[in-house]
Amino acid sequence: MSSLILVVDDEPRVARLARDYLEKNGFRVITATDGQSALTIARREKPDLIILDLMLPQLDGREVCRILRRESEVPIIMLTALSEEIDQVTGLEIGADDYITKPFSVRALVARVRALLRRTRGDVKAPSLVRAGGLEIDAEKYAVSFNGISIKLTPNEFKLLLLLASRAGQIFTREQLLDDLHGAASSVDRSVDSHIKNLRKKLETASGDPMIETVYGIGYRFIEK
């Protein structure tokens, strides 16, 4: 059976747009227009993932997220018209797994939903070949090139690039990147910043464009092409 998605937004047009596109891509969708209804429906229907607007009547998205996170591990994507960094950080700190800002691309939203479902189900595997614009990453050959010209990376740089590029647009904290490099970490290792700095310089030298974005106060993400 296809995954059940709960879309929570008090703007009918936004909820309808998200619902229609998700359904076209094979998901089952239910909707709610306020925070209290969202909690009731989530508890009753047990959705596989929730897309949760930040600004809601009755209970706002922050409070709904806090309550849901106390009760379950359901994946949550925060949806907000606010683009300030503090709102993005707050959403992640209270338990959201990802966020996307309005106005949003429906294709990007579906891609985020699929990626988060794969990740939370524990079955994400980095693809053996990743292409983004002129960049090509071949995991089997351990090779990276841009428009056919080889880019020499260290093992750690290669591993970080493969992770970031295979989930373009997704934010990774320093802790997550460190875990990917060395396994579960007990503390934040600032060497991740050095690896990213060197990797970003090599990529920009080859392509002329930035490919890895710093999301201040959170971590890093590969820029979607």
Task: Report pLDDT for 188.
Answer: 44
Specify whether the CB–CB gap between 55 and 49 falls below 8 A: no
- Interhelix angle 191-207/174-182, nearest 10 degrees: 90
What is Dmax (Cα atoms) for the chain? Answer: 56
Domain segments of the chain as ranges: 4-120, 129-222
Q: How far apart are alpha carbons 25 and 63 in whole angstroms?
A: 30
pTM of the model: 0.56
Task: Report pLDDT for 29.
Answer: 96
Specify whether the CB–CB gap between 195 and 220 falls below 8 A: no
Task: Report pLDDT for 88.
Answer: 58
> Which of 110, 104, 97, 100 is closest to 27 using CA atoms?
110
Q: How far apart are alpha carbons 145 and 98 in whole angstroms?
A: 30
**CATH number for the domain running over 129-222:** 1.10.10.10
Please determine whether the domains at 4-120 and 129-222 fall in the same fold group of CATH: no
**CATH number for the domain running over 4-120:** 3.40.50.2300
Q: How far apart are alpha carbons 77 and 88 in whole angstroms?
A: 11
Rounded to the nearest angstrom, the gap between the alpha carbon of residue 14 and the centroid of all alpha carbons in its chain is: 20
Query: Could you read off the pLDDT tens digit of each residue along the chain, which spans 225 residues?
Result: 578 999 999 999 999 999 999 998 889 999 999 999 999 999 999 999 999 998 898 899 999 999 998 898 899 998 877 655 555 566 667 778 888 888 888 888 888 888 788 777 654 455 688 888 889 999 888 899 999 999 999 888 998 999 899 888 888 887 778 767 765 433 445 678 888 999 999 999 998 988 999 988 778 999 876
